Structure 1
């Protein structure tokens, strides 16, 4: 009776250890998920700053285009000013394209972060499902242990030990008399 109880307790300890490992893995996944959310929020903040810069550059570009139109109507003497403004306009256009490229890169990063978040949510749901199954198994094992008679549990433990390590009859008797030999403390 003592051997079967210890065997059941060992199985219960094993299930508890598995549940603890699952809880730890879940905590790690939650931490990784929160880090991903923080990274995503930082990316959104950077994107907002770039959009503000882009709006400012667009305003500068619009004012430069208006200035170019006014300079075209002016006389030939002001051609030098017009050339300078065109160079300025080219510089602003290049800055706008660079901002557009950076915006596209940040959009791709945000999309990748969203995909990673979705994957982490899926993994989290899978881990929660595994944890629920382990808890159900633990509950079922406890119910079965409470329901089964103790001598039958001992006999099943000994039979399981014999199936794991086949032995001759005299050797099996010795192993049965010394419970620590077949893994039952």
Structure 2
């Protein structure tokens, strides 16, 4: 904002082009089961070109409906992919925890465990296997937070391939084909006119 360059103007034009091309998209909600919850967690490791911080992406479904999502830059730079993925898992588990407490106050009880899908094998092993903790002391707070939820049986961390990772849309620019596929998975329907652009 203090020293705009031509590059920044090009990015603003891309954002406006994206908004114009997605004006007809609408989120659709479905009747049905509201007692099951599923979540997806992803990260764009060191994706910010200025700070090299990673971006966490998370989305949570109640039944077939998307009820919560986030795309958030992590607070610190990480030196390992597993660390960034594990931080993203912790963010998603915190969101699940909050949603469960809100639903419980409304008299809605969720079937446990909540399935949380992650596309990083190291992070999924770390959540289920406390023996790995000796090699990952820098993750201690996140480790205990996620592992307690797994231990209590409230959350089940499962591996998913990057190809099927729905939270991918919150962490990086995508080609229009994958973007359209993921928006459909997020219960967002309509016609996009952003073919051929990334972002």
Structure with greater helix share of residues: 1
**TM-score tier (shorter):** under 0.3
Instruction: Return the TM-score normalized by structure 1.
Output: 0.23
Q: Higher relative contact order by CA 8 Å / sep ≥ 6: 1 or 2? A: 1
Q: Which has the larger radius of gyration?
A: 1
Structure with greater strand share of residues: 2
Instruction: Return the TM-score normalized by structure 2.
Output: 0.21
